[in-house]
Amino acid sequence: MTQDALVLVESNTTGTGRLFPRAARELGLHPVLLAADPGRYSSVGGAEVMAADTSSTVAVIDACRSIGAQRCVVGVTTSSDYYVGTAAAAAVALGLPANAPADLAAVQDKGVQRRLLLEAGVRVPRFTVAGTVDEVLAAAEGIGYPVVVKPVTGSGSLGVRLCANPAQAAGHAGATLARGHNERGRPVPRRVTVEEFVTGREYSAEVLNGVVVGITDKHLAALPLFVEAGHDFPAQLAPAERESVAQAATAAVRALGLGLGPAHVELRTGPDGPVLIEVNPRLAGGWIPRLVQEATGVDLILETVKAFSGRASHVYATIRGGAAIRFVMADGGGVLRDVEGVTEASGLPDVVDVEIYRRPGTEIAVTGDFRDRIGHVMARGESAARAAAAAAEGVLRIRPVLAACEEVPA
């Protein structure tokens, strides 16, 4: 009997994106990955890779229908933020489960998303959408420094910066507005949001089918950047605070029409309660789904595949513990000669996974976003605090050895 197919439109090449094919196979499905450049996906195993123009919704629909000539296509989804709308549009065209493409387009424009949340009564930072440096400076003056300036699209802290004065705001906004394409070569709007900097601890609520599965405590590297240096799950919150964060996340997802599948909702707890920073219509990055599974037994990737392939998805914790991850960061740029201490970190109590993403000989450049991560240490313990201590200790044992580019023989 021919297996039904799950179509994946592109994929993250790091993190949990590469686990989607495995989840599909676990459900008895045949995963087919549509890719504009199949050569990018040597690290995403377990899927049949098929070339397609993934920048075109029509081409993706045609590819799905081609697959449908041989197998029954039961779902279309993606692990990549950039292709959520395309996957949904293809699914709708084929009569398959999906959120409304128009809702997703609104969510993925941070300015539109903020407006919708504000209209729905969800607390968000004061903000303005700007298309020129002069508009940025006027908005910042009205809001009051420091302000956060970031592109209206994108993820992984790309282009997000805290600006303390007009010179910093003008410099960062000018560079951001000049970019016409993202790191995947896709066109991006030449607009930014200028927003109030909300102090307080940062959390993310991991949501599936409109229900909060749990809350993650996020650790950020030094300002003015917003690079995520680690995560703890579950966040250690007082019951009342946990409830207020969960309620804010649920209200946001409901207001944005994200009733099917995952949402990753980022918040900060300001002096007056939770403030919604942004909603992402996808699973969390940074290996957070793996932390959820280590701490609770819930496999969010498997449940996501169920949701988008028309299967009942139910989330039940089977264990109670904690998990944490800390990322290995290079102190500066250069060519990676070696990474020392991996065996030492792997042998620590409670450490369950150590991975280095870059091979020796790779040139490292500090970009101020998720691409600065060159590896991680993950731990599991009887509590998130115990796991966090183990992961932090593991990262201290790891030492990237860099050489200046001119020191490396041609």
Alpha carbon of residue 95 to chain centroid? 27
Active site residue 282: yes
Cα–Cα distance between 298 and 289 in angstroms, integer?
Answer: 9
Cα–Cα distance between 298 and 314 in angstroms, integer?
Answer: 9
Q: How far is CA 63 from CA 3, 13, 37, 53, in A?
A: 17, 21, 15, 9
Tokens of 241: 């605070």
Cα–Cα distance between 278 and 267 in angstroms, integer?
Answer: 7
**Catalytic residue (choose from 18, 282, 380, 397):** 282
| Residue 230 near residue 327 (C-beta atoms within 8 A) | yes
Cβ count within 10 A of residue 371: 17
Cβ count within 10 A of residue 409: 3
Q: What length does the chain have? A: 410
Q: Is the peptide bond before 274 cis (omega within 30 degrees of 0)?
A: no
Residues annotated as catalytic are 282
